[in-house]
Structures are given as structure tokens and as C-alpha cells.
């Protein structure tokens, strides 16, 4: 595996992770959340991730495992790995308290509402929120890195989708941190740095798996990535997209994301 492939995959994962800083900036400088745009954008991100997971990533994993283990065994391992990826991300969400879960999205205007409820508990909430997003972004980092390592063009599409998904996370993280510390700089720094857990997760995962990397390990990992991305889309992106705006807007964004992903995959056949 070439060094430039690894560096490109790491760079894309870094870009996706650090987009939490964009959300933090929006929280501090925007007067009001553009809910219609955010609804379409989150729907678009879900569309990209759902389409690429089922049409490309899952199919690639199944093809790889079938060639290594045989058609029947490969199919069973692919499905098991797919739902295993879903289980991993579901368990992570389960152990994070709902109040500190970065996927409990907030609007920019809720900053003013929370200001009247300042207490010592906000420090705990702020730190737990930063910790929560750090833990949660580990598997997302592995997903982005693995896809980019296999196909840089695919990695770019997933990076864009994950980045869009991370922007409202940055808002959710920075709001309690800001009112816990009274410092916009510290809130931005923690929100921004929490995104480093994505490339960190990618590096740790890569170093652990590198000695064992073969077609079977790659196929299992790729199928698990498809499961992780499906869970994120169905459990986080689509419900948040519908909550932020009109229901139809999220669906229009979803279909648009699928169309863009489909065309981009066809262009690189």
C-alpha cells in the first residue's frame, strides 16, 4: 500500500472531523439557524451515505469476501459484519447520556435560551459533550479512512457527507461548552479538537489492523463501514433533517444526494 494513498485517506478523514469547527463558528456568529438549508443539507448527506453504502461499499465487501471464503460463506460474513457495524455505533450511542449526546442537535438561537440557565452543571455538560463526540467519532473516522483508502473518489464523497453531518454536531458541542466556561475561544477549541478523534480513530484502527490486513479483514471492515454509515443516516441524519425543516425538504435532499452519488459513481466506472 502506497504512502500517498494512506496520506490522502488521512487528509480526507481530517477534513471530515474538523468540520465540527465550522459548526462552532456558526453557533457564535449566526443570528438564526437556516433550518430549511440545514434540512436539505442533512438529507443530502444521508442520501449520499445510504446510496454509497448499499450500492458500492456493501457490494464491494460481499464480492471481496465471496472470492476469499466462497459465495455462501462470504455472503453470511458480509451480512453479519454489516449489522455488526450497526451494533457498534448503536452501543456507543446507548452509553452516552442523551443530554450530552452530540447528536441531540441544537439550534443557534438556543444559545440565548440556555444562557439564562447557567449553573455549575454546565461545566460537566460541556466536558461530557466534548468527550461524547470524541468517542462517537472514532468509528466514523475508521469508516471515512477505509473508504478513502480503497477508492479516493469514494472517499471524497463520504468526506463531504460526514463533514455536513459534523457541522450541527459542532453547534451542539460548542453551546454548552461556551456557557460552561464563558469563553468562545475555549468552546471553539474543544469543539474543533474533538473532531480530531476521527483521524485519530483512523490511525489507531489502521495501525491495529495493518499486520492482519488481507481480503477477509478488508471485506469485514468494509461491510461494517456500510453498517455504520446506514445507522448514522437512519438514526441521526434523517430524523434531524425532518426536525429542522419541512418533511418534504429532507426527502428532496435525500433524493438529490442519491442522484449525485449515483452519477459520480457512474462517471468513474
- Annotated ligand binding at 153? The verdict is no
Q: At what angle do helices 184-194 and 152-181 cross, to 10 degrees?
A: 150
The cell numbers describing 147, all together, are 473508504
* Proportion of the chain above pLDDT 70, given as a percent: 74
Check if the beta carbon of residue 24 is closer than 8 Å to that of residue 196.
no
Domain map (residue ranges) of the chain: 3-267
In eight-state DSSP terms, residue 99 is T
Alpha helices by DSSP H, listed for the chain, are: 3-18, 20-29, 35-51, 58-69, 71-95, 110-115, 121-150, 152-181, 184-194, 197-209, 215-232, 238-244, 247-267
C-alpha dihedral sign at 57, 51, 23, 95 = negative
- Annotated ligand binding at 73? The verdict is no
Taking only the tens place, the pLDDT of each residue in 37-73 is 777 877 887 888 888 889 888 998 999 999 999 999 9
- Annotated ligand binding at 137? The verdict is yes
Q: Is the pLDDT of residue 221 over 60?
A: yes
- How many Cβ atoms are within 10 Å of 34's Cβ, its own excluded? 14
- Annotated ligand binding at 165? The verdict is yes
Q: Pick the range with the lowest mean pLDDT from 95-99, 175-179, 227-231, 247-251.
A: 95-99
30: region left, alpha or beta (phi > 0 left; psi from -120 to 50 alpha): beta
- Annotated ligand binding at 121? The verdict is no
pTM of the predicted model as reported, rounded to 2 decimal places: 0.68
- Annotated ligand binding at 140? The verdict is yes
Average pLDDT over residues 3-21: 85
Distance CA 3, CA 1 (A): 7
Amino acid at each position: 500500500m502506497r504512502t500517498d494513498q494512506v496520506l490522502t485517506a488521512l487528509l480526507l478523514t481530517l477534513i471530515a472531523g474538523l468540520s465540527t469547527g465550522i459548526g462552532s463558528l456558526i453557533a457564535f456568529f449566526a443570528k438564526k439557524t437556516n433550518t430549511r438549508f440545514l434540512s436539505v443539507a442533512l438529507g443530502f448527506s444521508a442520501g449520499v451515505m445510504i446510496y454509497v453504502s448499499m450500492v458500492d461499499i456493501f457490494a464491494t465487501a460481499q464480492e471481496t469476501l465471496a472470492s476469499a471464503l466462497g459465495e455462501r460463506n462470504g455472503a453470511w460474513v458480509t451480512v453479519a459484519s454489516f449489522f455488526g457495524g450497526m451494533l457498534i455505533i448503536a452501543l456507543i450511542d446507548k452509553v452516552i447520556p442523551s443530554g450530552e449526546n452530540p447528536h441531540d442537535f441544537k439550534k443557534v438561537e438556543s444559545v440565548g435560551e440556555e444562557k439564562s440557565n447557567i449553573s455549575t452543571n454546565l461545566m460537566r455538560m460541556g466536558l461530557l459533550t466534548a468527550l461524547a463526540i470524541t468517542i462517537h467519532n472514532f468509528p466514523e473516522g475508521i469508516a471515512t479512512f477505509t473508504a478513502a483508502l480503497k477508492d479516493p473518489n469514494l472517499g471524497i464523497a463520504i468526506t463531504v457527507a460526514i463533514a455536513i453531518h459534523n457541522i450541527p454536531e459542532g453547534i451542539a458541542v460548542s453551546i454548552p461548552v461556551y456557557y460552561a466556561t464563558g469563553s468562545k475561544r475555549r468552546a471553539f477549541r474543544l469543539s474543533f479538537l474533538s473532531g480530531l478523534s476521527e483521524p485519530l480513530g483512523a490511525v489507531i484502527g489502521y495501525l491495529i489492523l495493518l499486520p492482519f490486513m488481507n481480503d477477509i479483514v478488508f471485506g469485514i471492515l468494509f461491510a461494517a463501514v456500510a453498517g455504520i454509515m446506514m445507522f448514522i443516516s437512519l438514526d441521526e441524519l434523517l430524523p434531524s433533517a425532518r426536525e429542522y425543516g419541512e418533511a418534504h425538504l429532507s426527502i428532496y435532499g435525500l433524493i438529490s444526494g442519491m442522484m449525485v452519488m449515483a452519477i459520480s459513481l457512474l462517471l468513474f466506472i
